[in-house]
Amino acid sequence: MTIIPDWLAGDVSRETLQDLQGFHDLFLKWNAKINLVSRSSAPELWNRHIWDSAQVWKLAPKSVHWADFGSGGGFPAIICAIFAKHEAPDTKFTLVESDQRKSTFLRTAIRELGLNATVLARRIEEIEPLNADVISARALSQLSDLLEFVAQHMSSEGQALFPKGEIWQSELDAARKAWTFNCIAHTSYTDAQAAVLQIKELKRV
Ligand SMILES: C[S@@+](CC[C@H](N)C(=O)[O-])C[C@H]1O[C@@H](n2cnc3c(N)ncnc32)[C@H](O)[C@@H]1O
């Protein structure tokens, strides 16, 4: 069993923790077969991936349609959907992941944990507009490229939440050459150099 970090203490119910543990165990079982994350980061699953994803849930509006792109092994979407199950069960998640084996894993996790989520095993470029209230993506591509997806799939009142590594400021500067938007950079709880970018009111320059 893990230790809940101080910044999240009080926000994780016993039932949520049980489901997070269930996902953790399922993830390790599948990771041995299909490499959902690198072997080096698997031992740090709680801090590097699960708690890192939980901070996205803390920032997000609840009871919305939420799209997650390039969901991979489920970060942040499955972790947020677990919190949603216990805190805002009408939050509906659409996960877009083009890798068929990862999509099968995601569908298995959704079924076993009883989450309000569906998986599109397609390329983001190929799907119909989702008109989502929240869009997240972690470790998928640079901000300027992510904003192309946001422009296609976010509702006019929506927002994007992108966990970004330590070069987030230069990605932001590059993106501002092609786009205008409001952005709050929330310092990451799991890495002081990293940030979760919260982006609204996107327009092409
Ligand atoms: C580096 S992984 C990140 C996975 C997860 N978000 C995380 O943070 O651990 C990127 C994922 O995006 C998926 N992906 C890449 N390009 C995609 C596209 N155009 N459409 C859908 N999925 C894509 C890949 O298959 C891969 O699983």
**CATH class for the domain made up of 14-156:** alpha beta
Cα distances (angstroms) measured from residue 107 to each of 63, 111, 156, 189, 194: 21, 6, 29, 29, 30
Picking from 138, 140, 142, 1, the residue whose alpha carbon sits closest to that of residue 79 is 138
Number of other CB atoms surrounding residue 160 within 10 Å: 25
What is this model's ipTM? 0.99
What pLDDT does 97 receive?
Answer: 98
Q: Parse the chain into domains and list their residue ranges.
A: 14-156
Please check if 124 is assigned to a binding site: yes
**176 C-alpha to center of ligand 1: Å?**
24
Please check if 138 is assigned to a binding site: yes
Please check if 72 is assigned to a binding site: no
Q: Whose CA is nearest to atom 19 of ligand 1?
A: 123
What pLDDT does 179 receive?
Answer: 98
What pLDDT does 143 receive?
Answer: 98
Cα distances (angstroms) measured from residue 198 to each of 15, 21, 166, 177, 195: 28, 28, 16, 18, 9
Ligand 1 binding site (Cβ under 6 Å of any ligand atom): 37, 70-73, 75, 96-99, 102, 123-125, 138-140
Residue entry with tokens 């500067």: 173
- CA separation for the pair 45, 42 (Å, rounded): 5
Q: Which atom of ligand 1 is nearest to the CA of 70?
A: 12
Q: Which residues of the chain have pLDDT under 50?
A: none
